[in-house]
Amino acid sequence: MTKPAILTVDDDPMVSAAISRDLRRRYGDDYLVVKATSGDQALAALTKLALRNQPIAMIATDQRMPGMTGIELLERAREQAPTAKYLLLTAYADTDVAIRAINDIGLDYYLLKPWDPPEDQLFPVIDDLLGDWRHANREHTSDVRVVGHRWSDRAHDIKTFLARNHVPYSWYDVDRDAEAQRLQDLADATDADLPLVLVPDGDTLRAPSAVDLASALGLRTRAQQPLYDVCIVGGGPAGLAAAVYAASEGLSTVIVEREAPGGQAGLSAAIENYLGFPRGLTGSDLAQRAVAQASRFGAEMVLARSVVGVESRGPVHAVLLEGSGEIEARALIVATGVSYRSLDVDGLADFTGRGVFYGATASEATQCQDEEVYIVGAANSAGQAALNLARFAKRVVLLVRGEALENSMSRYLIDKIAKVKNIEIRCRTEVVGCRGDGHLEGLTLADRASGRVEEVQAGWLFVFVGASPRTEWLGQSVLRDDKGFVVTGPELIGQDRWQLPRPPYALETSVPGVFAAGDVRLDSMKRVASAVGEGAMSVYLVHRYLATV
């Protein structure tokens, strides 16, 4: 197969030779390293590579070059290498220019010269960039194949599960693709069997459950030990951070996640205000990195299993799993986060997964090619979804109940949205009705100020409203407020539910040894960074608790 190319550009012959040499030594087995000594030469090389249909994985260019700067080159290269990673090699004096280029041209990273030794200064950065590129540009020769109807809610669930668990797949629509019909005939499958999931070197799955699908893909669905030091319920940022810190500090650790790592944050197309990532990163990327980190330290992850209850058995807490099975641990961290609230519109629930979606993954975005999309919501998650969907959709309409986005959305997102021509913002507007035959086909919109009602055609509605905690499984033993958020720490003082002579630890619930971290906790900040911080803090408190029992 054709090797992806890495293009290096530097007008200094010695520097050009050095970086090409270093990259060939490290990456030459998997990538074609091409060097250029000017912007014009680099553009000519890109043209030649494009004619060969050779993918460009990365362009690493010097900034200060006569005739054409590195940033000018990268801006012009976007047409021929739209998916390439952009690395700017620059001097300290040009860092302000490089930071501006992150927003202006989508620069992925800038690196100060010199980069010696490359093992410490250069290769770790390029490893990350190429890893991200490979993840986003996988070959599809041995992917999982999913065959089904476009407007099937079960097919949507399966595609979402695969995407969020970083399993590459190819989608075949039986209503549009001849190949999909051929695969259905080969499997001798009826419509009742759809969606089909064809797994390489495995049996054909017919409308599989999440557990069956996970098992077929080799994902772990059962715990390996009878007892753990700590069990973490929920694999969002708080749960993953807790797993990293617990496992790295020698605690036997298991995470139970009913869907996929990342939680609600995992659906984000871009997290741009997370410390240490000036270019931003996707929620999926953050989750993937965190899972790899937790696994490296020895944490187990049990996927596709819902927790339905918890029991305290002396010094041990037992987490009860749906269907059958349980996990026992000496301490429990509740990090189940929140989910988007359902939109209260008559008949809308019938279209969930059939044109109406809560949250949005990259797979939905690509399926909206050249179509009109409506989004309900005004917080950062809605703004990020609008920007992501606008890359594919003909028009994106953001429906906002309030007077203005400024009341609920970060300024940097508002500024970005204002620059995108195919995003329309409609304030004081809400969805009051829907229609469709088997899938969503239209919406009724109402102006909250005038009461004027309008009918619009719509096949796609994405909902980002409010947050409901996932805590019903805790039963009556763990104190929660009237909305279901878990009460912790000082808020328990004075409550008759706390029975020990010592005060509860900061993130401890009304049950000693059971802690809550992240969005599920009452009065949490609802930010990724704070969830990560609480996940780490909960492990510190688990250590203190375990030392007393």
User: Residue 117: is the preceding peptide bond cis (ω within 30°)?
Assistant: yes
Measure CA 453 to chain center: 36
Q: With a cut of 60, say whether residue 1 has pLDDT above it.
A: no
pLDDT at 142: 52
Per-residue pLDDT reduced to its tens digit, 75-101:
999 888 989 999 999 987 788 899 999
Helix (H, G, I), strand (E, B) or coil at 223: coil
What's the average model confidence in pLDDT over 461-471? 91
| 167, 213 Cβ separation under 8 angstroms | no
Residue range 521-531, pLDDT digits in tens: 999 998 899 99
Q: With bands split at pLDDT 50, 70 and 90, how would you rate the model's confidence at 205?
A: very high
How high is the pLDDT of residue 236?
Answer: 95
CATH number of this structure's domain 144-216, picked from the four choices 3.40.30.10, 3.30.465.10, 3.40.50.2000, 3.80.30.20: 3.40.30.10
Q: Return d(Cα 301, Cα 253) in angstroms, integer.
A: 9
Provide the 10 A C-beta neighbour count for residue 55: 19
Number of H helices, E strands in the chain: 15, 26
Q: Write down the pLDDT at residue 140.
A: 43
Q: So what's the pLDDT on residue 141? A: 45
Distances 167 to 88, 134, 160, 239 between C-alpha atoms, Å? 31, 13, 10, 21
What SS3 state is found at 300?
strand
**Residue 544 one-letter amino acid:** R
Contact (CB, 8 A) for 161 and 259: yes
In whole angstroms, give the CA distance from residue 538 to residue 489.
Answer: 11
State the Cα–Cα distance between residues 508 and 514, nearest whole angstrom.
6
Which sequence spans correspond to the domains of the chain?
5-136, 144-216, 227-339+468-546, 348-463
**Top-level class of domain 227-339+468-546:** alpha beta
Is-contact 153 108, C-beta < 8 A?
A: no
Q: Which pLDDT tens digit goes with each residue over 263-298?
A: 888 878 788 888 888 888 888 889 989 999 999 999
Q: Are 208 and 197 in contact (CB under 8 A)?
A: yes
Task: Please report, for residues 202, 311, 320, 545, the alpha-carbon distance to residue 229 in angstroms, rounded to integers and kept in the order given.
Answer: 36, 16, 16, 11
- Within 8 A by CB and 6+ apart from 411, the residues are none
Tokens of 64: 């200060």
Q: Residue 363 — pLDDT band, cuts 50, 70, 90?
A: low
> Would you say residue 50 has pLDDT above 90?
no
Quote the tokens at residue 479.
Answer: 């104190």
What phi, psi does 112 have (nearest 5°)?
A: -80, 140
In the chain, what percentage of residues exceed pLDDT 90?
Answer: 73
Say whether pLDDT at 3 is over 90. no
CATH for the 5-136 domain, from 3.40.50.40, 3.40.50.2300, 3.40.1160.10, 3.40.50.720: 3.40.50.2300
Q: Which fold has domain 348-463?
A: FAD/NAD(P)-binding domain (3.50.50)
- Is the alpha carbon torsion for 28, 34, 38, 39 positive or negative? negative
Q: How confident is the model at residue 362 (pLDDT cuts 50, 70, 90)?
A: low
**CA 290, CA 235: separation in Å to the nearest integer?**
10
* Mean pLDDT computed over every residue of the chain: 92
Phi, psi dihedral angles at 177 (to 5 degrees):
-110, 125
195 prior amide bond cis, ω within 30: yes
- Return the amino acid letter for 5: A
Strand partners, 185: none
DSSP codes joined into one string, 44-91:
HHHHHHHHTT--EEEEEEES--SSS-HHHHHHHHTTT-TT-EEEEEE-
Q: List the single range of 33-47, 138-152, 462-476, 486-500 with lowest mean pLDDT.
A: 138-152
In angstroms, the Cα distances linking 405 to 59, 380, 390, 447 are 37, 10, 18, 16
- Helix %, strand %, coil % of the chain (to 5): 35, 25, 40
Tell me if residue 476 falls in helix, strand or coil: coil
Cβ-Cβ contacts under 8 Å for 381 (sequence gap 6 or more): 264, 267, 268, 359, 464
Cα separation, 128 vs 125, whole angstroms: 5
Pick from 79, 38, 81, 95: which is nearest to 61 by CA? 38
Among residues 378, 399, 400, 375, the alpha carbon closest in space to that of 389 is found at 375
Residue 443 has pLDDT above 90, yes or no: yes
Give me the pLDDT at residue 283, please.
Answer: 85
pTM of the full structure: 0.83
Kindly give, in sequence order, each residue whose CB lies less than 8 Å from that of residue 352, ignoring residues fewer than 6 positions away: 153, 358
Strand 395-400 versus strand 423-427 pairing type: parallel
Establish whether domains 227-339+468-546 and 348-463 are of one fold.
yes
Mean of pLDDT values over 248-271: 90
Task: Sort strands 144-148 and 169-173 into parallel, antiparallel or unpaired.
Answer: parallel
| Res. 387: pLDDT tops 90 | yes
What pLDDT, on the 0 to 100 scale, is given for residue 69? 95
Q: What is the pLDDT of residue 496?
A: 83
Contact 511, 318 (CB under 8 A): no
For the segment 349-368, the average pLDDT, to the nearest whole number, is 86
